[in-house]
Amino acid sequence: MITTLITGLVLGGTYALVAMGLTLQYGISRIMNLAYGEILIFAAFAAFLLFSTLGINPILGLAIVLPLAFAFGYLIYGVMMQPLVARSKKSGTLEVDSILATFGLLFVIQGVMLVVFGSNYTSYNFLNTGINVLGTNIAANRLLAFALAVIIGATLFYVLTRTRWGTTIRAIAVNPDAAPLVGIDVNRTARFAFALGTMLAASGGVMISMYQTFNASMGVVFTMKALVIVIMGGLGNLMGALVAGLLLGIVETLVATHVDPGLTLAATYLLFLGVLLWKPSGLFGKAAGR
Amino acid sequence: MTRTILGFILVALGLAALAFLPTQLGAYGVGLLLGMTGYVVLASAWALFSGPTRYVSLATVAFFGIGAYTVAVLSEALPYWAVLLVAAGIGLCVALVVGLATLRLAGVYFVIFTFGLAELIRQLVTWYEVNVTGTLGRYIFLPITAEQIYWQLLGLAAITIAIGWFISRSRLGLALKVIGDDETVAAHTGINIAGVKLALFAVSATIITLVGAIQAPRWTYVEPSIVFNPTISFLTLIMALLGGANRLWGPALGAIPLFLLFEWLSANFPNHYSIILGLLFIAIVFVVPRGVLAGAEDFWKRLRSNGEAA
């Protein structure tokens, strides 16, 4: 039981981090990004490439991958999303348009990955030694991933809740119409939040590449999990995403060890269904209906 | 009134001509025609629900796959017509579960739920086959020729478009227009919003399931990863959008050129077609967000008003 809990928490740490990125993109930039998991997998492949060809370890790899991911997110928002945002001021169709546009993007990124990396499962060996934690043997790479998730997550949380800049971002999430009245440049901040979300997706990808096998068509599953966590935690709620992410990690590990590893996605869906029927606004959310 | 009758006669003549077509074409031509008709039905059925409500359903292939896989499992145990009925029934049940869970809420929940649905059902079927029956992959041996499949699909296409036509002229169609324009107004005029959406989603999903079931004998060998291929959802969506999801003939109009393009791309650029299609899709969302038909109408109107002003 302790084993399952610890493994689950470690897995949940990565999930929570990934979901925080998505909640930034959806809660603040108002972009429902269906290509989110593809970006994550792309970063996983990047980490794999850096490690296997150049011998750069994934921790240093983060320093290369994350700025690139940030730049990519910044570019994508500027090129693809900004015109949609501008258009939706008249028609109010941003949600549908962003869903459709990112659905197209999903196939583009997936296609690029299939061409470049092929469709085989990939993994590499990094710090694959057991460490004893409370009587449980856990691979060092998983623990490292968890530690990284905690560090990145805590930094983000601190920045968003304690700094002026973070308050600006949250102000947009609370009331996008009133934010410009107090001198906030909504467009610029939304773009920044979107890029930040992309960066978090990439960091999750690097972590996952350290301890899991992955392939080019797995992105959908990660997008799905992140979306379910975001809904469970309440849209745009960082703390909620954190708790829900850990919860999903534990549930998945429980199902994988005690029922069947092939049913983890089904467990995710069941959880999602439960939340939808019981508390559609999320476990910690206040109001839905957007 | 005379115009409606004339329209009916024209459509009936067109149908007769299309039904006659396979006798003039070789095996390749019939295969092409069959695939095209399949996508015309898929896109039209998708637009039946998603056009007026603007709820983007990403689960087309979930229902398509359910249909195809049901045929694979039951084709030897039951007569063909009964298999089709069972497939339609399963599709309907899944649609009701999905609809009941999400359609009462905001549209995002529906999109998210349908987004992973195909993957979920694929994993469940795979899990069941590996753990319970012990086999992955099934053969379908049914004495059905390509022509017969084509005629069935053509009939289904006619039915789907007829349903679309009837809905647009009925109270239900009026209710849908109000919902599409303003849900709050719709609720205040006494329209049962969730009920209308649920009914429409169920009809659309059942038709999509039937397309999968009817096309299944074409494959002979069926595997979860073949019938739950996400490209099918993607293609359906892009076809309906190109033609215009809000028009009766829009999805059919979008399906024909894109199906041919897809055939050509997958023959010539087998590795890159999903990149090309993805870019094309993004372009469609940007350039003709409401479809070619609506775009052409706008253009025509502007042209005429300009002419009058001058």
Do β-strands B221-222 and A136-139 pair in parallel, antiparallel, or remain unpaired?
Answer: unpaired
Residue B309 pLDDT: 59
Residues B45-72, mean pLDDT to the nearest whole number: 86
Residue B92 pLDDT: 92
Chain A residue nearest residue B241, CA to CA? A100
Tokens of A160: 């968003």
Query: Could you give the domains of chain B?
Result: 29-309 (1.10.3470)
Task: Report the C-alpha gap between B49 and B177 in whole angstroms.
Answer: 12
Task: Report the C-alpha gap between B109 and A231 in whole angstroms.
Answer: 8
Residues B59-70, mean pLDDT to the nearest whole number: 89
Task: Report the C-alpha gap between A247 and A253 in whole angstroms.
Answer: 10
A266 touches chain B (CB under 8 A): yes
Residue A274 pLDDT: 81
Task: Report the C-alpha gap between B202 and B210 in whole angstroms.
Answer: 12
Do β-strands B138-139 and B221-222 pair in parallel, antiparallel, or remain unpaired?
Answer: antiparallel
Q: Is the pLDDT of residue B302 over 70?
A: yes
C-alpha triplet B52, B57, B61: angle, nearest 5°: 135
Task: Report the C-alpha gap between A237 and A138 in whole angstroms.
Answer: 31
Cβ–Cβ gap A111/B130 under 8 Å? no
B136 touches chain A (CB under 8 A): no
Residue B274 pLDDT: 80
Long-range Cβ contacts of B267-271 (<8 Å, 24+ apart): B271/A114, B271/A115
- Partners of residue A289 in chain B, C-beta under 8 Å: 106
- Partners of residue A272 in chain B, C-beta under 8 Å: 112-113
Cβ–Cβ gap B289/A93 under 8 Å? yes
Residue B307 pLDDT: 65
Closest among A228, A163, A238, A250 to A200, alpha carbons compared: A238
Q: SS3 of B70, please?
A: helix
B130 touches chain A (CB under 8 A): yes
Nearest-CA distance from B268 to chain A in Å?
15
Closest among A5, A83, A10, A33 to A198, alpha carbons compared: A33
Task: Report the C-alpha gap between B107 and B193 in whole angstroms.
Answer: 12
Residues B11-33, mean pLDDT to the nearest whole number: 77
Chain B interface mutation, best of A42, A103, A217, highest count of B Cβ atoms under 10 Å: A103
| pLDDT tens digits, one per residue of B125-168 | 888 888 777 777 788 777 777 778 888 888 888 888 888 888 88
Chain A residue nearest residue B270, CA to CA? A115
Tokens of A170: 């949250």
Tell me which CATH code domain A2-278 carries.
1.10.3470
A261 touches chain B (CB under 8 A): no
Tell me which residues of chain A have a pLDDT lower than 50.
Answer: 287-290
| pLDDT tens digits, one per residue of B165-210 | 888 888 888 888 888 777 788 888 888 888 888 888 899 999 999 9
Chain A interface mutation, best of B54, B242, B272, B275, highest count of A Cβ atoms under 10 Å: B275
Cβ–Cβ gap B272/A262 under 8 Å? no
Tokens of A28: 């603040």
pTM comes to 0.84
Task: Report the C-alpha gap between A57 and A49 in whole angstroms.
Answer: 10
Task: To the nearest 10°, report the CA torsion of A261, A262, A267, A268.
Answer: 100
Chain A interface mutation, best of B285, B287, B298, highest count of A Cβ atoms under 10 Å: B285
Cβ–Cβ gap B274/A227 under 8 Å? no
Cβ–Cβ gap B289/A97 under 8 Å? yes
Instruction: Give the start-end residues of each E strand in chain A.
Output: 130-133, 136-139
- For chain B, give the percent of residues with pLDDT over 70: 98
Task: Report the C-alpha gap between A29 and A176 in whole angstroms.
Answer: 10
